[in-house]
Structure 1
Amino acid sequence: MRSLLAPLILALALAALCCCEKGKGMSPLGIKREVANAFVRRQKRSDLYEWYFEYYKSPMEQMHERCENYPPCDFLSDQIGFSMAYNRFFGRY
C-alpha cells in the first residue's frame, strides 16, 4: 500500500501544478480567449419577432424554469411529468 502512495501523491502534485499554471491570454481550459469568444459569440437577431422572444419568455417557459430551479420539483418531473410535479409543489398554473 505504501509503495502506491508515493507515486499517487507525486502524480496529484504534478496534476495540480499543471492545472494551476496560467498562461497570458489563455483561459483555464487552455484555449485562447479570442478563439473561445468567437466560438461562444451568438449571431445577432435580425427580426423583431426573434428579438422579442429572446428577452420575454412565455408563461410556460417561466414555469418550467421555476420547476427546474427547485430540485424536488425537477426530480419529480422526471418521474411523473412536468404538469403533475408543478401542480404538487406550486399549485395550479
Structure 2
Amino acid sequence: MRSLLAVLMVSLALAVLCYCEKDPKDPSGSPSTDSIRIKKEVANTFVKRQKRSNLYERYLEYYKSPMEQMHERCENYPPCDYLSDQIGFYTAYNRFFGRY
C-alpha cells in the first residue's frame, strides 16, 4: 500500500511540474528587461523635482509657525488634546498653557 502511495505522489509531482512549465517563446510570459527600459530624457522629465522659487518657501520648509508649534504642544499633552476636541483649540490651549 505504501509503495502505491509513493508512486502516486511521484506521478502527481511530475504532472504538476509538467503543467507549470512555461514555453520561453510564449508572448504571454513576463516581459524581458530590454522591453521595459526607457531613455534617460524621458525618465528625467517624468521624475523632475519642483524647485523652490524663493527664500520664503525655503524658510517655511525648515521653521514652523508659532500657531503650528502651539498645536503640536497641545497635541502632545493628552488632556489638552482631548479638551480641544470638545471645546476648541484656543480655549483648551489657554486653559492648560495660558496665553502664548
TM-score (norm 2): 0.46
Q: Give the structure with the larger helix fraction.
A: 1
TM-score (norm 1): 0.49
**Is the radius of gyration larger for structure 1 or structure 2?**
2
